[in-house]
Amino acid sequence: MKGLKTIAVVLALAAVAGCAGTAERDPRDPLEPLNRAVYRFNEGLDEAVARPVATAYRDAVPEPLRTYARNFFGNIADVFIGVNNMLQGKPVDGLQDWARFVFNSFFGVFGINDVASDMGFEKHNEDFGQTLGRWGVGDGAYLVLPLLGPSTLRDGAGTAVDIYVDPLSDIISSVPLRNSAIALRMVGTRADLLDAGRLLEEAALDRYVFLRDAYLQRRRNLIYDGSPPREKREDEGEAPVNAPADQDVKGTDRK
Amino acid sequence: MRKIAQALLLYPAFVAGVFAFVLDAANAQTAQDTSAPDVLVKTVTLEVVDLIAKDKEIQSGNRAKLIELIQAKVLPHFNFPAMTALAMGQSWNKATPDQKKRLTEEFRTLLVRTYASALAAYSDQKLDFRPLRAKPTDTDVTVNVRVMQAGAQPVPIDYNMEKTSSGWKVYDVMVGGVSLVANYRTEFNNAVRDAGIEGLIKNLQTKNRPAVAPAAPAGEKK
């Protein structure tokens, strides 16, 4: 519930800050100053707590055990992924998610083995933000949420629903155990992103911008399940694939 | 307790074994024309993965050697001027030929470094080379590869390739739907807006300098 409250406060702040915008700002990110502040806060916290803990987890826990943990939480998540696929009008995908859950829960020993994937029932990536997107809700302003990181107005609302219906809270009634499970899931998620974090550091000139653009591209791709409609961007011009002239690889076979 | 742990460890292997023959049948490859873009991607990828697996020095973290390998095996199949042009967007036309050349060199160094880190993070995940969906006459295609991960959705890697006089060349790589080239566009445009083309080049140089290994002088090895 606390998470929800934080999100509500951020959204309210965001709405206020949105009134003051300058012309130079990226139209997708009218709240850039606020977002950058939250981003810096998140990075500081990540550097001080999340990354060291995740690194220790990765170093201390052998890969098979980490996979069991990842699969266990992934299996529980498949239930709501199926719900989202149903809500998006993809009953076949939804049924597959639920079949995965049933299969992995039984034959995968409470989901710690992803036997369904080995059988060709691939895992899907869905959440309520994607469902809203599928229903036609636009991104809205880009948002960096405290602790949770990159999001948008739409995805923030989606995340609030995701947290609200998180099955982990229903399954485990003991509060300390539930909190430990949620913590383990977070650490595991961060550990899986350690390499990506290093890549970001290496690739980006401005990490904030790089991460934002990657997030927006990624979400668009996810909403359309990997095949978004082609989008004419005004800044793309005519794709100058063959334009460069100072190297030996220029194309000469244009008809 | 031990027994249970052992059983748990063996379980995925058992299940995988049961289904391996199905996958084998599905993966049966027929001999194909190596000048096709999807065959090229597969050949180069498997060769690089294999070379890395065999190389003890790279395994133990020798970056210079990994970069050397990328330069020899991967670089010739990329069209860096086109990638730089796409990443620059409209600013590309404002650059002089000399600036274009330096931009391309710096961007190439940056991408090679990033690629090296990505490869270093690769650890035996299964690769799924998707059949090419294109007409034989197409000169602009997307080759799909998927990195399979246990317990997670596969990560698609898409290579946008164009047929040129010197064979198929990659001009953009999309990882999980994120276009590398498009992702640099805002950054590059911001840098050009704030400090001009020279500013962007300087920016890239600063970024590249600390990691430029002696084995990786920019702009050779073709």
What tens digit of pLDDT does each residue of A20-68 get? 444 467 899 999 999 999 999 999 999 999 999 999 999 999 989 999 9
Identify the pLDDT of residue B3.
54
Pairing relationship of beta strands A142-145 and A149-152 according to DSSP bridges: antiparallel
Contacts of B207 in chain A (CB under 8 A): 205
Task: Give the whole-angstrom CA distance, residue B35 versus residue A175.
Answer: 60
> Please, what is the average pLDDT of chain A?
83
Q: How many angstroms away from the CA of A117 is the closest CA of chain B?
A: 8
Suggest the residue from B113, B115, B153 to mutate for an interface test with chain A (most A CBs closer than 10 A). B153
Q: Which DSSP string do the residues of A185-250 spell out, in sequence order?
A: HHHHHHHHTHHHHHHHHHH-SSHHHHHHHHHHHHHHHHHTTT-PPP---GGG-S--TT---SSTT-
Query: Taking CB atoms and an 8 Å limit, are B163 and A253 in contact across chains?
Result: yes
In this prediction, residue A104 carries a pLDDT of: 94
Alpha carbon A49 to chain centroid, angstroms: 20
pTM listed for this prediction: 0.79
B85 neighbourhood in chain A, CB within 8 Å: 240-241, 243-244
Cβ–Cβ of B8/A112 closer than 8 Å? yes
Q: Does A202 touch chain B (CB under 8 A)?
A: yes
Two structure tokens written together for B206:
């600063």
Within chain B, which residues score under 70 in pLDDT? 1-34, 210-222
Report CB contact under 8 Å: A217, B179: yes
pLDDT at position B125: 83
Q: Do B176 and A71 touch (CB under 8 A)?
A: no
d(CA A15, CA B73): 51
Cβ–Cβ < 8 Å for B88, A255: no
CB contact B159 to A (< 8 Å) = no
- The CA-based dihedral angle spanning residues A72, A75, A79, A83, taken in that order and rounded to the nearest 10 degrees: 130
Task: Give residue B221's pLDDT.
Answer: 40
Q: What pLDDT is recorded for position B16?
A: 47
B92 contacts A243? CB cut-off 8 A: yes
> How close is the nearest chain A Cα to the Cα of B176, in Å?
7
pLDDT at residue number B96 = 95
